[in-house]
Amino acid sequence: MAKNVHLLVGTRKGAFVLDGDSERGTWTLRGPFCEAWPINHVIADNATGTIYAGGGNEWFGPAVWKSEDLGETWSHSSEGLSYAEGETPIKAVWSLTQNGKALYAGVEPAGLFRSEDHGITWEHLDGLQKHPSRPQWMPGGGGLILHHIVTHPEDNNQLWIAISTAGVFHSSDGGQTWEPRNKGTRNDYMPEDQRYPEFGQCVHALAMASGMPDRLYQQNHCGMYRSDDGGQSWRSIEPGLPSTFGFPAVAHPRDPETLYLLPLNGDVLGRYVPDAKAAVWRTRDGGKTWEDLRNGLPQKEVFFGVLRQSMSTDTLDPAGVYFGTNTGELYASADEGETWTCLAEHLPTITSVETLVVDR
Amino acid sequence: MLQDTAQSAATTVTVILPAALMRLFPGCQGRLVIAASDIAGMLDELEARWPGMRDRLRDSTPSIRRHISIFIDGRRSRLDTPLRPGATVYVLTAMSGG
């Protein structure tokens, strides 16, 4: 059946939707939505087409916005999206994930909430607040943020989350209790003999391989990694990449051995694409070897970066790959990254890119 | 006892809401009359009329949100600031959050 692709784009000044066709050649931009609030993550419930956008406004605080008509109209709610009295209030919603019939939200300061009524009311899963390591968590430069929630394809009770800068944590009871899973990932900001701690790493992105829930990939502030045991141990897949620093990591929708990264030159070197030339890097063998993909991407005087949640794929075949920059440019490939086109040049800073594929 | 009752009794004030808040609640009036004894009670009344509005103005500390200012008689108020009968209460978005 023919399908249409919609890009869901979070930006510092609202959510945007781009409507494409199955050829992914023609795109129409709509937005900004959500009253131009800073929006950190926009997702869709693939079953219903409902769009959710999470963010936070400096005046009015955090909320999850919702549209049931592909962005034409929106409502917002934060009922129950709060910590206990006396605790530092929630500043913003940073991640959203559908898990079975429940909707999960990750927030800043790092915490996890669940909604059983499609985003109208929220319940705090306080296991992270109560974790024994919590008092030692330190925020990263951008804040203490729960920015990735990865679900198990067959077991709704299993969740992996990524927190800057507490690390990766796993739950086997739907988010009630957690254990850190950071063995083998580095924290280069510690003394040499303490660079592989149990927690405290600055994970930037977490992705699960298609059809292989034990295979996880990670882009960290300090390196790129792969796990074959659900995150219980990690090994570096950095050799062949131009740097050890970057933000997003996106798994191919069907091939567990294919991963897309967008390395940046370095955390103290400006955080832009290496050599000021844009490239997406792809592995087809689980991180053993890498190839740079640049056809159609700017190769001169390019000083943009791509943030944690700002890259995605669609589910078509060949897979579409998309990324948005911190300078407001949105790029797309309809052939697994072989060639690229620029879909938009003047958006606000892009904080997230996701896709929704619907039957025509 | 009677004095406590008088102090806790609701008073009627005029509340002016900012345009940015009104945009979040279609149909909301920008100038309305509210009966409450203090700022916290006023926010509860706003919540009763437009569910979700209280959370836009106060956080879980609990406190008025950092970049929201609520003025009574020209003075910045807190959640426990009592309301004077006939006062005009300005709810403003602060420049610091803009």
> What architecture (CATH level 2) is domain B2-97?
Roll (3.10)
Confidence at residue A58, expressed as pLDDT on a 0 to 100 scale: 95
Cβ count near A8 (within 10 Å): 25
* Signed CA dihedral, B88, B91, B94, B98: sign only: negative
pTM over 0.90: yes
Structure token digits, residue A284: 């087809």
Nearest by CB to A61, from B20, B51, B56: name it: B56
Copy the structure tokens of residue B54.
Answer: 């209280």
**Angstrom distance (rounded) from CA B45 to CA B34:** 7
Q: Measured between beta carbons, which residues in chain B are less than 8 angstroms from residue A92? A: none
Query: Chain B residue with minimal CA distance to A83?
Result: B60
Q: Is B48 on the interface with A (CB under 8 A)?
A: no
Alpha-carbon gap: B18 to the closest alpha carbon of chain A (Å):
11
A146/A168 Cα distance (integer angstroms): 10
- List CB contacts (< 8 A) between A76 and chain B: 24, 52
Whole-angstrom distance, CA of residue A311 vs CA of residue B51: 35
Q: Which residue has the tokens 């530092």?
A: A88
Percent of chain A residues past pLDDT 90, beyond the cut: 95
Grade residue A139 by pLDDT with cuts at 50, 70 and 90: confident
pLDDT in tens, A58-86: 999 999 999 999 999 999 999 999 999 99
Look at the alpha carbons of A115, A67, A34, B68 in this order and tell me if their dihedral is positive or negative.
negative
Looking at residues A325-347, what average pLDDT do you find?
Answer: 98
- Could you tell me which of A211, A48, A209 has the C-alpha nearest to residue A118? A48
pLDDT tens string A182-228: 999 999 989 999 999 999 999 999 999 999 999 999 999 999 999 99
Please give the structure tokens belonging to residue A28: 């129409």
Give the closest-approach CA distance of B98 to chain A in angstroms. Answer: 7
3-class DSSP assignment, residue A36: helix
Q: Phi, psi (5° rounding) for residue A337?
A: 105, 0
**Among A274-278, B5-9, B18-22, which stretch is predicted with the lowest mean pLDDT?**
B5-9
What's chain A's average pLDDT?
A: 96
Six token digits for residue A72: 């034409």
Which pLDDT does position B43 carry in this prediction? Answer: 98
Predicted local confidence at residue A2, as pLDDT: 84
- Asked if the C-beta of B24 comes within 8 angstroms of chain A's C-beta atoms, the answer is yes
The reported pLDDT for the residue numbered B1 is 42
Nearest residue in B to A60, CA atom: B56
- Chain B residues within 8 A of A59 when measuring between CB atoms: 20-21, 56, 65, 67-68, 93-94, 97-98
Write out chain B residues lying below 8 Å of A63, CB-based.
55
| Nearest CA among A166, A62, A39, A56 for reference residue A124 | A62
pLDDT at B73: 86
Cβ distance A59 to B98 less than 8 Å, yes or no, reads yes
Confirm or reject contact between B31 and chain A (CB < 8 A): no
Q: Look at residue B9 in the predicted model and tell me its pLDDT.
A: 64
Mean pLDDT of B21-32: 95
Contacts of A206 (CB under 8 A, 6+ apart): A148, A150, A160, A161, A162, A168, A216, A217, A218, A249
Cα angle at A88 between A84 and A91, to 5 degrees? 105
Whole-angstrom Cα distance, residue A120 to residue A65?
9
**Do A230 and A181 form a contact (C-beta atoms < 8 A)?**
yes
Structure tokens at A300: 């001169």
How many residues in total does chain A contain?
360
One-letter amino acid for residue B56 of the chain:
R
Give the residue-averaged pLDDT of A104-122. 98
Q: Which of residues 58-87 of B touch A (CB under 8 A)?
A: 59-62, 65, 67-68
3-state DSSP assignment of residue A276: helix
**CB burial of residue A1 (10 Å; 0-12, 13-18, 19+):** exposed
B-chain CB neighbours of A82 within 8 Å are: 55, 59-60
What's the length of chain B?
Answer: 98
Residue B2 has pLDDT above 60, yes or no: no
Backbone angles phi, psi at B42, to 5 degrees: -60, -40
Q: Which residues of B touch A83 (CB under 8 A)?
A: 60
Q: What is the DSSP track for A321-332?
A: EEEE-TTS-EEE
A165: closest CA among B58, A335, A188?
Answer: A188
- Which of A35, A60, A74, A129 best tests the B interface by mutation, with the highest count of B CBs <10 A? A60
